[in-house]
A and B are shown apart, each in its own frame.
Chain A
Amino acid sequence: MSKTQILIVEDDAIIAMDLESRMKKLGYGVTGVAGYGEQAIEKVKENTPDVVLMDIILKGEIDGIETAEIIRNQFDIPVIFITGYADKERLKRAKLTYPFGFIVKPFQDKDLEITIEMALYVAKADAERRKAEKRQELLIKLLELLNQSKERIDEIRDILFLIKETIGFEAVAIRLQEGEDFPYYHANGFPAEFVEAERNLCARDQHGEIIRDSQGKPYLDCMCGNVICARTDSSLPFFTAEGSFWSNSTTELLATTTEADRQARMRNRCNGEGYESVALIPLRSDDKIIGLLQLNDRRKNMFTLEMIHFFEGMGDSIGIALDRQWTRAALEERMKELNCLYSISALLELPGISLGEIFERTIMFIPPAWQFPDITAARIVWGGQSFQTGNFRETPWMQSSKIIVYGKPGGQVDVCFLEEQPASNEGPFLTEEQHLLNTIAERLGKIIERISARDALRESEEKYRSLVESTNDWVWACDLEGRQTFANEAVKTILGYDVHEIEGVLYENLIHPEDQKKTRQWFKSSIEKKKGWKNAVIRCRHKDGTLKFLESTAQPSFDAKGNLTGFIGIDRDITERKRADDNLKENLSFLQTLIDTIPNPLFYKDVKGEYLDVNRAYEEFYGKPRQEIIGKTVYDMGPKHIADKYYEKDQELFQRPQKQTYERKVINAAGETRDVIFNKASYADQEGKVKGLIGIISDITERKRAEEALRESEEKYRSIMEAMDDEVYICSPDFRIEFMNPAIKKRIGYDATGEPCHKVMHGLDEKCPWCVHGKVMKGETVKTEFVSPKDGKTFHVSNSPIFHTDGSISKLTVFRDVTETKKMIEQLQQSQKILSIGTLAGGIAHDFNNILFPIMGFGEMALDDAPENSPLRNKIEEILQGIKRARDLVKQILAFSRQSGQELKPLKVQLIVKEVLKLIKSSIPTTIEIKQHITNQCGLVIADPTQIHQVAMNLMTNAYHAMEDEGGKLEVTLQEVELGVNDFIDPSMNPGPYVCLSVADTGTGMDQITLERIFEPYFTTKKTGKGTGLGLSVVHGIVKSYQGDIKVYSEPGKGAVFHIYLPVIKSRFETEKTEAIEPVPKGTEMILLVDDEESIVRMETEMLERLGYDVTERTSSIEALEAFRDSPGKFDLVITDMTMPNMTGVQLSQKLLEIRPDIPIIICTGFSAKIDNAKAKEFGIRGFVMKPVVMSELAKKIREVLDQEEG
């Protein structure tokens, strides 16, 4: 323990020194020595002593007593008076200063020590007592304060004042919880800036946001925060077990403790402000810290632990009192609010109260619930109406709350103070008041909802009652067993029972027996599930026994506690409807069957384009079940660009309702592209409004294919018909021509479709005698051969039936010109005959020679043996002559049959012909004149010279034989000619230059029958022994083997001409090519051309037309004469064949010249034997052309004749 410090106040320096030394001797410390009163006070202030030794009598302004009083009062330091003497007056005065002792001078050291020790003890005890008294006093006052029902602010103010005054602290303050923070609620003695800076405890980050701990609680700063948050460590000296903080020197604390010791971030404002003594005491209520008491003093050592404990006890009292007081205040407020709210709610209980009345009354309940009822006014605005207290006016101190009805703001409640009220930190209104206002507004909202619901309910009840009364449906109610408890009048109509009859009857007993089980089941399951049934159809018996169909709907009914009590139901008489429904269903079923039976895909849609239904064919076509289609649109069925097109079409139809047809390609279920036709039509409701469309799809793929195939087929047959040379026509059952191909049109000369066939084909007015029409109409195909009387041509005619799909038959007739074919077949037959004979001849020749050889040998020997004048000789000579002839014959046969062994080489035919002529001249009589026209420039022919020799010899011998009896003229001509395609009979011949050997006689001639057979082997007209019958067939064979040809013209009695054509390998035309080719002379005159052979007419016409002439052609001399007679002046020239039936060329010429003597005429002839130039001139014929006609010659001759005429 430190020394007791003593201040000595003594104006006598010697005594003072004595005292000082004596004190020190006694073991006391001396803080100082003062000579007078003021100095003493200064010294006490300067260095607080434990005891003051004071001389009563002092020099200076104030004496010892007065000084002591000041020290005691100001510093509470015990003073011991020292006095040498004491008058009573002074003593009396000294007593008043409550001195702690008197020491009278002179005094012993012992006395001094006792006095000092006593004084110290008494002073200490006295101080303790006084402190205790003060605390006691403070506590009493505090409790008094706390028990007064004052406003809190006043209460706290008073508490602080009391603490400050009573305990003597420089600054005191209280923090109380407000929201999450604990700001100063009130402070006393702190500088205003300090309070302002330190008001809040919540730590905030740089953005001003409250910093929170891991549990989300706000972090409270500084030592205040520690105490409030109970972050105290009682093991540290500055924290108590009760959670208080205290320090008698904050400077020392800061210097001696660590940040960790101090628990939290320190703001150090207390220390900064100079407060050394600081105590922070928690205010507790139960275990909850609701605030803090702060005690600050700039002086050090203001606290003892005992004091802190005292304040802790006081803090508890304050905490409990404040908490209790708050609770009570809150309770009172709640009571006010509850009262207000209850009153409002109670309004609803008033029967028949209207919404307006509720508003009017409600505003009256509001002001009493507020803090200052006298100056509070209220208003409710709802539905454009305003309800307000009489004193209401809008002021700046107004609070409002919206009335929300069914989730929407519909009005508001306003409360205002008519005068300004002191603003606490909550503004003019308490938070609770705002809450209350919100609650009122909310309650009003509910009330409005309830009132309108009540009104609506009332209305609807009214409505339902009248509905139940007026409805034709049987409305009923029953208990859980199904016993009828209510029924409306409709039951009379529906079931025939009076209402009273029904009551108490089981529901199921009214039902048809067959449906009773079902109804029982409904009741059972409805009771279990607490659910009703809906639109259930049951059958009932009318009182009169008739069957009724009812559609029953029932709902469970409950009592107020929610217990199921029974059911309420509505049963509708649907007997009629059911009947109609059944009919409708039947109809619908019929329609559906009908629609499904339609083989075409069918669909119908509504105006939105959604499919309403499709038929079975549609399902099959697209391979989709109708469930997948119904309700869909085209956009669900296919790609958008395609759907767009259908959509457009649908819209088009809806806008212009009518039928719509279009073609499309679609893909069916099998993935095939099909050509279809859509037929669509819109349909409308009874008012004519378009409701949708119906579409039907026709698959025309097959039809299109068939059409295409038919078209192709028609095209094919048409081109066949057009291309074929055969003449074709089709004839109807009534002999009308239905079709003619171009070939027959050309023959007939025009398109005779529609005309009778017999008229067109044969110029007959009635059907042809040979008509096969009847047979064809029976389905037969008739083939005939027919020789046209018109041109003598042979036709194969095929008549076949064409069966039409309608059962009718047409006749198809095809004319095939077989003239040429027949000729060729005949020639072929002949060739084959010759060939077979040749083969035969080859075979027999050897044997024949073997026979002849011995005959000849023996004959010759016999002749040799016969005597000179024996008659035998002559006979043997005859035999030998016969044998030689036989030998020659065999030679001829062999020559004929010889195929190989011929020596083919290029040769000049003219040389051989000249040789033969030499030979023949020597062997024929002079009655026969020989004329020869041999062209030496004829081209080379590939041939066997012997055979050519044989041919020429044979022809000339024949000619000689023909004129042997009568004589005549043999004319041999050899020339090179150019032959065209039309000049040939044999198709194996090629166009080009030919050497033509003509051998003409003026002999007996041949008829047509003979002509046809002359090339047959062994056919001969000669007398027996004169001809072998092989000559001409040998000639024919030779010529043919050289790809040549042979032609004969002959008439009985007029002679014959044979033309042999042999192909030239090197033409004289070719060899002469370098020479100037003579241009073919042309002209434009009109020529009448006559020849009985149509092919010749055709050929010559072409020639003439090519030369530029205009040609009128005729195939008979009579027709030609008629044509000429009709317009004689029309023609410039007539070219006529010589040999024609009815009238020869010469006879025709004579007739023509009779009509027009100056008409130039050219005669074409195969042989000129009977007409020579002179004779012709005599007849008036201008010229001849030899057949075959060569174009260049003909051209030359025409010009010659025509130009001569002009000349």
Chain B
Amino acid sequence: MARILIIDDEVQILNMLRQMLEGEGYEVIDAPDGKEGLRLYRENPTNLIITDLIMPEKEGIETIVELRRDFPDVKIIAISGGGRESPDNFLLNISGKLGAQRTFAKPVEREELLKAVRELLK
């Protein structure tokens, strides 16, 4: 069964995504920021990474750039809450261009997310 690494600084979101993905039968590991996520992935690479963009320690964009550089075949879904100084669309667009196969704005509807996961793990 496929393994998915989820990265988000919000514990509630990590819990929600773990339940949602484990309910579908995926093995899920999580990290609270990009740095930890990268470490975990290097230890034991997963089939997919779902990452937030705005995080402490290491931003999502950085994380995506490093992953894409070190593991060219890595599959990434970027999800952002938007706001802050720049609108989310901007970051999401960038992350798309940098190597995220799918991008979503929070909050994402369950079906949309699962559909993207299924497609990427096919």
With A846-B54, A849-B81 as given contacts, are A857 and B107 in contact (CB-CB < 8 Å)?
yes
Q: Interface code A884-912, partner B: CB below 8 Å = 1, 0 otherwise?
A: 00010010001001101100000000000
CB distance from B87 to the nearest CB of A (A): 5
Q: Interface code A680-714, partner B: CB below 8 Å = 1, 0 otherwise?
A: 00000000000000000000000000000000000
Q: Determine if A887 and B107 form an interchain contact, defined as CB atoms under 8 angstroms apart.
A: yes
Q: Determine if B87 and A843 form an interchain contact, defined as CB atoms under 8 angstroms apart.
A: no
B window 3-38: CB within 8 A of A: 10, 12-13, 15-17, 19-20, 23
Choose among A842, A847, A861 the residue that contacts B19 (Cβ–Cβ < 8 A): A861
Is B97 in contact with chain A by the CB < 8 A criterion?
no
Q: Interface code B63-103, partner A: CB below 8 Å = 1, 0 otherwise?
A: 00000000000000001111111111110000000000000
Is A848 in contact with chain B by the CB < 8 A criterion?
yes
Q: Determine if B106 and A850 form an interchain contact, defined as CB atoms under 8 angstroms apart.
A: yes
Is B115 in contact with chain A by the CB < 8 A criterion?
no
A window 197-227: CB within 8 A of B: none
Q: Determine if A850 and B90 form an interchain contact, defined as CB atoms under 8 angstroms apart.
A: no
Is B116 in contact with chain A by the CB < 8 A criterion?
no
Residues on B with beta carbons closer than 8 Å to the beta carbon of A850: 10, 13, 81, 106
Is A590 in contact with chain B by the CB < 8 A criterion?
no
Q: Determine if B107 and A853 form an interchain contact, defined as CB atoms under 8 angstroms apart.
A: yes
With A846-B81, A846-B83, A850-B10 as given contacts, are A860 and B90 in contact (CB-CB < 8 Å)?
no
Is B105 in contact with chain A by the CB < 8 A criterion?
yes
For the complex, what is the distance from the CA of A847 to the CA of B84, rounded to whole Å?
9
For the complex, what is the distance from the CA of A845 to the CA of B87, rounded to whole Å?
9
Q: Determine if A857 and B20 form an interchain contact, defined as CB atoms under 8 angstroms apart.
A: yes
Q: Determine if B87 and A894 form an interchain contact, defined as CB atoms under 8 angstroms apart.
A: yes
Chain B interface residue count, Cβ-Cβ cutoff 8 angstroms: 29
Q: Determine if A894 and B84 form an interchain contact, defined as CB atoms under 8 angstroms apart.
A: no
Is B109 in contact with chain A by the CB < 8 A criterion?
yes
Is B110 in contact with chain A by the CB < 8 A criterion?
yes
> Which residue of chain A is the closest to B84 with respect to CB atoms?
A846
For the complex, what is the distance from the CA of A864 to the CA of B105, rounded to whole Å?
22
Q: Determine if B110 and A860 form an interchain contact, defined as CB atoms under 8 angstroms apart.
A: yes
Q: Interface code A840-873, partner B: CB below 8 Å = 1, 0 otherwise?
A: 0111111111101111111011001000000000
Q: Determine if B10 and A854 form an interchain contact, defined as CB atoms under 8 angstroms apart.
A: yes
Residues on B with beta carbons closer than 8 Å to the beta carbon of A844: 83
Residues on B with beta carbons closer than 8 Å to the beta carbon of A887: 107
Q: Determine if A854 and B82 form an interchain contact, defined as CB atoms under 8 angstroms apart.
A: no
A window 804-862: CB within 8 A of B: 841-850, 852-858, 860-861
Is A676 in contact with chain B by the CB < 8 A criterion?
no
For the complex, what is the distance from the CA of A897 to the CA of B84, rounded to whole Å?
10
Residues on B with beta carbons closer than 8 Å to the beta carbon of A854: 10, 12-13, 15-16, 107
Residues on A with beta carbons closer than 8 Å to the beta carbon of B54: 846
Residues on A with beta carbons closer than 8 Å to the beta carbon of B88: 845-846, 849, 894
Q: Determine if B87 and A857 form an interchain contact, defined as CB atoms under 8 angstroms apart.
A: no
Is A468 in contact with chain B by the CB < 8 A criterion?
no
CB distance from A706 to the nearest CB of B (A): 65
Residues on B with beta carbons closer than 8 Å to the beta carbon of A897: 87
**Of B20, B108, B110, most A-chain CB atoms within 10 Å:** B110
Chain A interface residue count, Cβ-Cβ cutoff 8 angstroms: 28
Residues on B with beta carbons closer than 8 Å to the beta carbon of A527: none
CB distance from B88 to the nearest CB of A (A): 7
Q: Determine if A900 and B90 form an interchain contact, defined as CB atoms under 8 angstroms apart.
A: yes
> Which residue of chain B is the closest to A863 with respect to CB atoms?
B110
Residues on A with beta carbons closer than 8 Å to the beta carbon of B13: 850, 853-854, 857
> Which residue of chain B is the closest to A855 with respect to CB atoms?
B107
With A845-B81, A846-B82, A854-B10 as given contacts, are A898 and B106 in contact (CB-CB < 8 Å)?
no
Prevailing SS type, chain A contact patch = helix
CB distance from A883 to the nearest CB of B (A): 7
> Which residue of chain A is the closest to B11 with respect to CB atoms?
A854
For the complex, what is the distance from the CA of A847 to the CA of B17, rounded to whole Å?
17
CB distance from B22 to the nearest CB of A (A): 11
Residues on B with beta carbons closer than 8 Å to the beta carbon of A842: 83-85, 87
Q: Determine if B83 and A843 form an interchain contact, defined as CB atoms under 8 angstroms apart.
A: yes
Q: Determine if B109 and A856 form an interchain contact, defined as CB atoms under 8 angstroms apart.
A: yes
Residues on A with beta carbons closer than 8 Å to the beta carbon of B84: 842-843, 846
> Which residue of chain B is the closest to A902 with respect to CB atoms?
B87
Q: Determine if B83 and A845 form an interchain contact, defined as CB atoms under 8 angstroms apart.
A: yes
> Which residue of chain A is the closest to B111 with respect to CB atoms?
A860
Q: Determine if B105 and A898 form an interchain contact, defined as CB atoms under 8 angstroms apart.
A: no
Residues on A with beta carbons closer than 8 Å to the beta carbon of B107: 849, 852-857, 883, 887
**Of A847, A850, A898, A901, most B-chain CB atoms within 10 Å:** A850
Q: Determine if A901 and B81 form an interchain contact, defined as CB atoms under 8 angstroms apart.
A: no
With A861-B19, A900-B90 as given contacts, are A894 and B109 in contact (CB-CB < 8 Å)?
no
Residues on B with beta carbons closer than 8 Å to the beta carbon of A847: 81, 83
Choose among B23, B83, B89, B90 the residue that contacts A849 (Cβ–Cβ < 8 A): B83
CB distance from A1176 to the nearest CB of B (A): 49
For the complex, what is the distance from the CA of A855 to the CA of B83, rounded to whole Å?
19
With A856-B107, A901-B89 as given contacts, are A849 and B15 in contact (CB-CB < 8 Å)?
no
For the complex, what is the distance from the CA of A860 to the CA of B86, rounded to whole Å?
29
**Of B16, B88, B106, B110, most A-chain CB atoms within 10 Å:** B106
Residues on A with beta carbons closer than 8 Å to the beta carbon of B85: 842
Residues on A with beta carbons closer than 8 Å to the beta carbon of B10: 850, 854
For the complex, what is the distance from the CA of A850 to the CA of B82, rounded to whole Å?
9
For the complex, what is the distance from the CA of A864 to the CA of B19, rounded to whole Å?
13
Residues on B with beta carbons closer than 8 Å to the beta carbon of A883: 107
> Which residue of chain B is the closest to A895 with respect to CB atoms?
B87
CB distance from B114 to the nearest CB of A (A): 10
Residues on B with beta carbons closer than 8 Å to the beta carbon of A849: 81-83, 88, 105-107
For the complex, what is the distance from the CA of A795 to the CA of B16, rounded to whole Å?
63
Residues on B with beta carbons closer than 8 Å to the beta carbon of A861: 16, 19-20, 23, 110
For the complex, what is the distance from the CA of A976 to the CA of B19, rounded to whole Å?
58
With A856-B107, A857-B107 as given contacts, are A900 and B86 in contact (CB-CB < 8 Å)?
yes
Q: Determine if B110 and A848 form an interchain contact, defined as CB atoms under 8 angstroms apart.
A: no
Residues on B with beta carbons closer than 8 Å to the beta carbon of A898: 87
> Which residue of chain B is the closest to A859 with respect to CB atoms?
B110
CB distance from A904 to the nearest CB of B (A): 15
Residues on B with beta carbons closer than 8 Å to the beta carbon of A901: 86-87, 89-90
Residues on B with beta carbons closer than 8 Å to the beta carbon of A852: 106-107
> Which residue of chain B is the closest to A864 with respect to CB atoms?
B110
For the complex, what is the distance from the CA of A844 to the CA of B23, rounded to whole Å?
31
Q: Determine if B83 and A894 form an interchain contact, defined as CB atoms under 8 angstroms apart.
A: yes
Residues on A with beta carbons closer than 8 Å to the beta carbon of B110: 856-857, 860-861, 864
CB distance from A211 to the nearest CB of B (A): 141
Residues on A with beta carbons closer than 8 Å to the beta carbon of B79: 853
Residues on A with beta carbons closer than 8 Å to the beta carbon of B23: 861
Q: Determine if B89 and A853 form an interchain contact, defined as CB atoms under 8 angstroms apart.
A: no
For the complex, what is the distance from the CA of A894 to the CA of B15, rounded to whole Å?
27
> Which residue of chain A is the closest to B23 with respect to CB atoms?
A861
For the complex, what is the distance from the CA of A698 to the CA of B47, rounded to whole Å?
111
CB distance from B34 to the nearest CB of A (A): 16
For the complex, what is the distance from the CA of A894 to the CA of B89, rounded to whole Å?
10
For the complex, what is the distance from the CA of A854 to the CA of B89, rounded to whole Å?
20
Residues on A with beta carbons closer than 8 Å to the beta carbon of B87: 842, 894, 897-898, 900-901
Residues on A with beta carbons closer than 8 Å to the beta carbon of B111: 860
CB distance from B76 to the nearest CB of A (A): 18
Residues on B with beta carbons closer than 8 Å to the beta carbon of A843: 83-84
> What 4 A-B pairs come out closest when comparing CB atoms?
A846-B83, A845-B83, A849-B81, A853-B107
| Other 13 A-B pairs with CB < 8 A, given A897-B87, A898-B87 | A842-B87, A843-B83, A845-B88, A849-B83, A850-B106, A856-B109, A857-B108, A858-B19, A860-B110, A864-B110, A894-B87, A901-B86, A901-B90
21 CB < 8 A contacts A-B: A843-B83, A845-B81, A845-B82, A846-B84, A847-B83, A848-B81, A849-B83, A849-B88, A853-B108, A854-B107, A855-B107, A856-B108, A857-B20, A857-B108, A860-B110, A861-B19, A861-B20, A861-B110, A887-B107, A894-B83, A897-B87
